[in-house]
Amino acid sequence: MSKKYIIASIAVVILIIINLSTFFKLNSLDEDIFELDNKLQNTNFSIENNYSQVESTMNEMLEEQLWIQEKDYQIIALDTEESTVDVMLEWHARDLLQNEILSLLYRNENTTEWNELEVNNENGLNYSVEHTFPLRENYEVQLVGDSVTGKRSEELFILDFKDEIENRIIINVFVDVESDHKNISPNIIIYNHLDEDSIFGQNKDDLKIKSAEALIYVDGEIKKEINLLEEEENNYIDENSENINYYKIVELDEVIEDVNDIEVLVIVEDNLGVKYQTTNNALNEK
């Protein structure tokens, strides 16, 4: 056996030993990294858990400091003829200062002037007020306490009646005028989401569409009336929503010189008697 062969063999053995040593060190390092990663995850979980507990405790402390700790309101009656809504406002106060006088104030969201309502003491620190509001407005309601030590106030409710009505049933109207100026193609899309959480409905049947019609005006005069529930077969109704889609050519039986004289008014009424409407003029000429 030559000297070169012996040296080469020794070198190979040394390289193998070095590689094995490196492998075991890397494997051990991987295990250390994995263990460290687990520790970091456990630490993050512990921090998140502690944060949630601290946040929950702080929220409880803040709630305990609130003057009004419980509050709710109910729709007592809805008068669609007079467009009013009768509401019962109820709340529970944390305390009442000596000789403190309570006042319930409300205002239309578009005004700065507050209106005062008489407060009824049910029992203990439970109070209520029943009042009739115009239906198609939004209101802010706050409670004010006046005592020898000064005044304090707290927001009670945001009564968004107007938003509820305007946003519950969505009506889109697009009007195309045919080139002969005698026919139009109204594209009407009505979407009604049957949400039982609506402040006006106790069940889905109350919120369903009772009637839907389109009135076509020319220069302020009604030329056509369309019953959208009867004439359109492309309506999709299930337990969660109602979709009415109307797209047909409508003959006006006369030449309309100025397309801006054409107007389409869509009126939808639900089973509560609440009406929703949208108007659109002819926008596109074919």
Q: In the chain, where are the structural domains located?
A: 1-65, 68-160, 164-285
C-beta of residue 116 within 8 angstroms of C-beta of residue 103: yes
pLDDT interval class at 140 (50, 70, 90): very high
Distance CA 62, CA 184 (A): 61
Q: Which of 241, 233, 232, 248 is nearest to 191 (CA)?
A: 241
**Identical fold between 68-160 and 164-285:** yes
Determine the 3-state secondary structure of 277 from DSSP.
Answer: strand
Q: Average pLDDT in the 163-176 region? A: 86
What are the pLDDT digits (tens) for 180-237? 778 888 899 999 988 656 776 667 788 889 999 999 998 888 989 999 988 666 777 7
Q: Which fold has domain 164-285?
A: Immunoglobulin-like (2.60.40)
> For the domain with range 68-160, which CATH number is right: 3.20.20.70, 3.40.50.2300, 1.10.3720.10, 2.60.40.10?
2.60.40.10
pLDDT at residue 144 greater than cutoff 80 = yes
- Is the full-model pTM beyond 0.85? no
* CB neighbour burial string for 14-34, b if at least 16 within 10 angstroms, e if fewer: eeeeeeeeeeeeeeeeeeeee
Determine the 3-state secondary structure of 64 from DSSP.
Answer: helix
